[in-house]
Structure 1
Amino acid sequence: MPTDRRDPTRFPSLDERAGVLERKRTLKMARSAHAYVRGSTAQFYAWLGDVDAGLVPAAPPVWICGDCHLGNLGPLADAAGKVRIRIRDLDQTVLGNPAHDVIRLGLSLSTAARGSDLPGVTTAHMLEEMVHGYRDALLGHDESLSEAHAGRAVRAVLRRATHRRWEHLAQERLERIEPTIPLGKRFWPLSEAERSAIAALVSSEAALELVGALHGRGRHHAVTVLDAAYWMKGCSSLGTLRYAVLLRIGSGKAKPSYCLIDVKEAVASVAPATPDAPAADPADRVVQGARALSPCLGDRMLPARLLGRPVVLRELMPQDLKLEIDDLTRDEAVGAARFLAAVVGHAHARQMEPADRRAWADELRLHRAGGLDAPSWLWTTVVDLVARHERGYLDHCRDFALARAG
């Protein structure tokens, strides 16, 4: 692994990182109400806990995303190269109540609609279509996952992902095609302890087998660490260990291939697990949830330990993109709501027995009121949470502005 290419005194020290990362997280959450939703998972469950405990139904327990917002869904490539929209971030996954994913997605979509200045009636239609798409997936109606009905904005992201190659990933993540990681605003130099620990981790038998399998070359091919850096990335994950590791696969005269490994600390989930859920190491929990909900992602993840902490290794593929949907029209919002709910419903349904799928689908047809073609508990919780998040967001912006002024 190469030594640092720039003066490390220009970057935060190990002791200073936490403060810098917290300020960055606060800034990102202040940028928009939707960004605040993405970074306030703990508040979501705290506020949801204030709702009448009997309001949210107890659905059959399955692995859930735990943080099911728009940014945590997006294109993923499977082993055959087929790109589909799936759940792409499982940091908060637990064995829990699938209704929590439905509510969190409803909140995220409602906030996105408000950010697009769509009328409140559109939110009502979005929640109706969410329930329709989710139920169709539970009942095995494959047409619910047809991208043709996903809306223009979702299809545009999917098309872009399908045509991406390593050069696109390198340019986007590293801002260059050359096989190095540029130190700067996003990437910081490693300490000697970090550098040694990462080198040992990626040369472990399990890591080499994973990388070799993903590249179709097998364990016997050489894997070389070209570069590594601390990665200031994400929002809710800011403040935990996060590293980018650039690898070269192959040696000799054969043309090498490159891969970018994301090493991310796994922490305890704030999403409530079912009472009888077995205790698990946070990294093991993340990978188990990923393999249950998005196998094409879980199969390229590895639980491990780094510097005494649980981490998850994941190869980043060029097709991995998050959904960034802005300026939605009414039709796009409604279409996206139905399709994305079907994606989540499919991830839940694959884990359920047929009788449980039918019972949960039937539950979603009950408790309707006020002419809304969706359960009243979904409308009530989403409306209440939108109001709480709006106030929380404004309070956050106030506190952020005062802190900067001070």
Structure 2
Amino acid sequence: MSSQKKSRRREKRTNALPKPAERAELLTGQRRLKMARSPHAYVRGNTAQFYEWIVEANGDSLPHGPAIWICGDCHTGNLGPIANQDGEVEVHIRDLDQTVIGNPAHDLIRLGLSLATAARGSSLSGLTTVHMLEALAAGYESAFRPKQRKAKSPDRPEPVHLAMKMAVRRSWQHLAEERIEDLEPTIPLGKRFWPLTRDERKAIDGLFRDDVIASLPTGLRGRNDTGKVEVLDAAYWVKGCSSLGRLRYAVLLDVDGGVIEGDDLCLMDIKEGVKAAAPRYENASMPRDNAERVVEGARHLSPFLGERMRAARMLDRAVVIRELLPQDLKLEVDELDREEARKVAFYLAAVVGKAHARQMDAPTRRGWLAELRRGRSKTIDAPLWLWTSVVQLVSSHEAGYLEHCRRYATGVN
């Protein structure tokens, strides 16, 4: 197809898409619809209410864990394979919007709630959920053992194994077909990508004229680190659930400015950094800028991701910029069977435990491990506060989910 015909097609599609002034209402509607699709989706998109309910249910009864960077929104969808700049791939925490210096117990409870909700959605028995939370506690605690007593890394359960196998085989072509549905150096406007305003396009062009931001795509192994970075195309990105309604952009870059080839193209994600709903420790010293906070938290919790992120200002808002690599994948554990449920719980908790443990010195790790093992009952081999919190939160979220569906069905905001 000629470039002239492509241009006319793009213009026609653009005219049929929402105007920037219409975004907020449409995105709010999409977010509410996504959260109505399943209890698990409701849990994933409802961080603020999670913390409201956890305070109501537990007050000060939770242990006061060490002051470290936590994910703040540690559900299963926020873990998955992540590549670093040298092409190595590991399972890390992959979304740090809510990261703060806070109580590590909150991450453990959030992950437990997510897994328990997935188990209910998979029609697994309550007994399986008990065993999952015991495995969750064991996996998390395994990261805090003294070095001489540490066991080898746990075998990857099937959902994690499949995600890793897929991640290491992926290339730019896979990313392009999945994210932008085409190998041509344009972003196709439509359901997922909406047109920009003139000010947005100007601001994006300006961002990538900054050497600090331009160093992100040129820093990957095998790329020309002195190559010119050119913005080929950009669009507003209708993506995520909790992020719907914030600034979110997809930007297609050419790194060397020469002949356009797959290896020289990269897809950048620009995402607004907003105030975290996760509670921070009062005396914690963190960056006041929300984008800088997210990047700093990523460097502590997910080094592979943190080294590939930058904080900036765009249109008077804080934004986080990172390149999307083909190996970056979200784990899909919405459905579990009884055999793999405990393995998934152990493995993911170990990933979170390692992210926490690397921030602690040896005495702090020993103290936190002792706290985790304190106060167990004869009925469950896990901290009683973890079990009680998850049970109460499952109940609260189930009621909240049904009420959300009723309000959505009747058109009540």
What TM-score results when the alignment is normalised by the length of structure 1? 0.95
Query: Any conservation in 1 of the 2:175–2:325 contact (CA below 8 Å)?
Result: yes
Aligned AA (2:296): Q
Distance change in 2, residues 1:277/1:49 (3 Å): same
Greater shift in the superposed pair: 79-88 or 191-200? 79-88
| In 2, Cα distance between equivalents of 1:80 and 1:208 | 18
Distance in 2 (CA, whole Å) between partners of 1:32 and 1:325 is 13
Distance 1:42 1:3, change over 3 A: farther
Give the Cα–Cα distance (whole angstroms) in 2 for the partners of residues 264 and 163 of structure 1: 27
* Cα distance in structure 2, aligned partners of 1:55 and 1:30: 31
Deviation at 1:214, TM superposition (A): 2.2
Among 278, 283, 286, the alignment partner of 2:294 is 286
Q: Give the 5 Å matches for 1:5-404.
A: 5-7=10-12, 8-139=14-145, 140=147, 143=151, 145-146=153-154, 148=155, 150-252=156-258, 257-279=264-286, 280-403=288-411
1:143 Cα shift?
A: 4.2
What root-mean-square deviation, in Å, do the aligned CA atoms of Structure 1 and Structure 2 show? 1.8
Structure 1 segments (4+ residues) deviating >6 Å: none
Q: 1:230 touches 1:244 (CA, 8 Å); kept in 2?
A: yes
SS of the aligned residue for 1:351 comes to coil
Cα offsets for 1:160-213 (capped at 9, x unmatched): 111111111111111112221000000001010001000001121111122211
**Structure 2 SS opposite 1:21:** helix
Q: Which ranges of structure 2 fall in alignment gaps of 5 or more residues?
A: 1-5
Q: 1:217 Cα shift?
A: 3.8
> Shift of residue 218 of structure 1?
5.0
- Over 3 Å counting, the alpha-carbon distance change for 1:308 and 1:78 in structure 2 is same
Aligned to 2:3: none
Is the 8 Å Cα contact of residues 208 and 219 (structure 1) preserved in structure 2? no
1:121-158 Cα shifts (integer Å, max 9, x gaps):
11111111111111111225664633x2x321221111
What amino acid maps onto 1:267 in structure 2? V
User: Is the contact between residue 232 and residue 252 of structure 2 (CA under 8 Å) also seen in structure 1?
Assistant: yes
8 Å Cα contact 1:133-1:144 kept in structure 2: no
2:267 is paired with a residue whose SS is strand
CA deviation map 1:287-311 (0-9, x unaligned):
0000000011010000001101000
Counterpart CA distance in 2 for 1:194 and 1:266 is 16
Cα distance between partner residues in 1 of 2:151 and 2:256: 42
CA contact (8 A) 1:262 1:313 kept: yes
Using the TM superposition, give the Cα deviation of residue 6 of structure 1 relative to its aligned residue in structure 2, in angstroms: 2.3
Structure 1 counterpart of 2:11, one-letter code: R
For normalisation by structure 2, the TM-score amounts to: 0.94
**Cα pair 2:230 2:255 within 8 Å, conserved:** yes
Cα distance in 1 for residues equivalent to 2:80 and 2:94:
6
Distance 1:217 1:176 in 2: 22
Q: CA deviation at 1:51?
A: 2.3
CA displacement at 1:30 relative to structure 2 = 0.4
Distance in 2, matches of 1:316 and 1:164, equals 12
Change (3 A) 1:143 1:169: farther
Partners of 1:144 and 1:381 lie apart in 2 by 30
Does structure 2 conserve the Cα–Cα contact (< 8 Å) formed by 1:128 and 1:372?
Answer: yes
The answer on whether the counterparts of 2:187 and 2:235 sit within 8 Å (CA) in structure 1 is yes
Return the letter of the residue paired with 2:357.
Answer: A
- 1:137–1:145 CA contact under 8 A, matched in 2: no
**Whole-Å Cα distance in 1 between the matches of residues 171 and 182 of structure 2?**
14
Provide Cα deviations, 1:344-369, integer angstroms capped at 9, x if missing partner: 00000000011111111111111112
Structure 1: unaligned runs, 5 residues or longer: none
